[in-house]
Amino acid sequence: MSDEGRDNPARRVVDGRFELVARLGGGGMGMVWRATDLVLHRSVAIKEVRPSDPGLAEYDPEAASQLRERVLREARALARVDHPNVVTIHHIVDGGPGTYPWIVMELVTGGSLADRLALGPMNPTEAARIGLEVLAALRAAHEAGIEHRDVKPANVLLRPDGRPVLTDFGIAAIRDATALTATGSVIGTPDYMAPERVSGKDGGAASDLWSLAMMLYVAVEGHHPLRRGTTLATLAAVLTDDIPPPVQAGPLTEVLARVLVRDPQARPDARQLERILADVARRAQAPTPTPTETPTSFPLQPPAAPPQVTRPTTGVTAGRRRWTLFVLPTAGVALAGALVWTQLPDSGTHASGTTGSGSTATTSSPSAGSTASSTATEQTTTTTDLLTPQGIRTAIAAIEKKTGRDRFGDLTVYPDYVTVELMVKGSEVAYDDYTYRSGQGVQKDIISGSLPTNWKPVRLDDFAWDRVPYLLSQARKKLHVPNADTRYLSLDVPDTAFDSPAGFSVYLSNEYGQSGYVQADAKGKITRVVPADN
């Protein structure tokens, strides 16, 4: 396996079966080839995963051996991830001790997202749809215990129909084994690395979400906000520089502002991010409206009720809003450990719930009658705030009546609309998304999915919605969110992995991306307060 052979396959056959045809790409993590499976007569992609330092086996054979085992373990785990947005692994070629494995994968022929972006930026709706599917791939990998650690446009391949496929998980195994080589080069892509990883800490799944959000920023803006002339300068920028507000992100602006914060705990978790990306993805692909135009769908931040609209939508103000990132003090800009980060529990950990408020709503809600009469009543109401005990019960009753379902995988209540994940009858994991709006009733959304196996759906018959006003008042007092302009409630379903029960949380955030939440059990007793300045 000479270097010359790497660049000129010349009928080179791996494992007596895979004939290398052409070089597709390569880098510090290995070389990728287009190959022909001589047994099944199909084209595949094949990659030899190896460390960026070719001398690793010579000066540290134990580290090289551990790396080989990590790569094999990672590849085997990934091979069990059956998801349309995760590259399919067909085969692993292991030459034994002293070698690095070859990974045989499906060949994705539509080029990469990097190729697509070389033609110009995406509109926010297109980027949101790409992001939603890449996020689905990350969730599937995270549930299998795998963090990607190198989410970037070059590692998102596109099928001929445009569907993205996340690939190149090899760095997840390699990065821990050789964080820095002897020459000081960084394993990874500095401008897409989350700050906590640059500083030598592991932010977990939240770090992959930072990388995803940074990729979406680049997709819509056409440039990277933190890329500098050298690797060291880029790493320093990731650690300390504010991110310029995007000017072309439109409805994606709020997504980017909420995820691109340096405290991993302050970022929305994957489930919350999926919900807000889905909201953006549902928008029609149209130019950003001017203040005199009427949006064709609801904005990312909840719109005011029709008689109360006093400010433009997120899409209108996107290019004029100011971002403030949380910059922690540094003692110097070293490649690793420049910041001392406090590792806090993932803010997305659901100290979740078991039951809720549906049956009570049927008798007490003025909207518990027929859908037609409910809609007519709501249309004549001048003020409808769904983020109230009565509003929540009204929405739940309407949703249960319309769908005939009463088991929820998620419930998110904004003042003007409610989104839910309703479990498919007979399933503990499969759900469909529905949205309820005052005056419009219940509509089925285009999104369907599956809950993580450790999350359990709940019924909403016994939740203490009457405690919501108190929790909101406590949120205003304790979360320290200046000029909060967004408030919502999110259901916390039981999580068997953390033995956490049912509950719900109320959130406050502002246009600068600062947010916090108050978490309560199903009876409304506060169990956790996470302020914006935590």
Domain ranges of the chain: 3-106, 113-286+298-320, 358-530
Say what the pLDDT of residue 177 is: 40
pTM of the model: 0.54
- CA 87 to centroid of chain Cα atoms: 18
Mean pLDDT (10-residue bins), the chain, 534 residues: 43 88 71 90 86 62 74 77 89 80 89 91 92 94 85 91 83 43 50 90 88 96 91 89 92 92 92 88 52 35 33 33 35 32 31 34 36 38 77 96 94 91 89 88 77 85 95 94 88 82 90 78 93 71
CA pair distance 73, 147, nearest whole angstrom: 13
CA pair distance 490, 209, nearest whole angstrom: 20
Tokens of 460: 């909403």
Q: Please provide the CATH number assigned to the domain covering 113-286+298-320.
A: 1.10.510.10
| Ramachandran angles phi, psi of 403, nearest 5° | -100, -20
DSSP 295-362: PSS--SSPPPPGGG--S--HHHHGGGPPP---PPPBS---SSSSB-------TT---------HHHHH
CA pair distance 469, 388, nearest whole angstrom: 7
| Among candidate residues 336, 225, 211, the one with its CA nearest the CA of residue 267 | 211
Query: What is the fold of 3-106?
Result: Phosphorylase Kinase; domain 1 (3.30.200)
Helices (H) and strands (E) in the chain, counts: 16, 16
Q: Which of the residues are catalytic?
A: 150
Q: pLDDT per residue over 30-87, tens digit each? A: 678 899 999 999 999 998 776 656 666 566 677 777 777 777 877 777 787 888 999 9
Cα-trace Rg, the chain: 25
Q: What three-state secondary structure class fits 506?
A: strand
Question: Is-contact 44 104, C-beta < 8 A?
Answer: yes
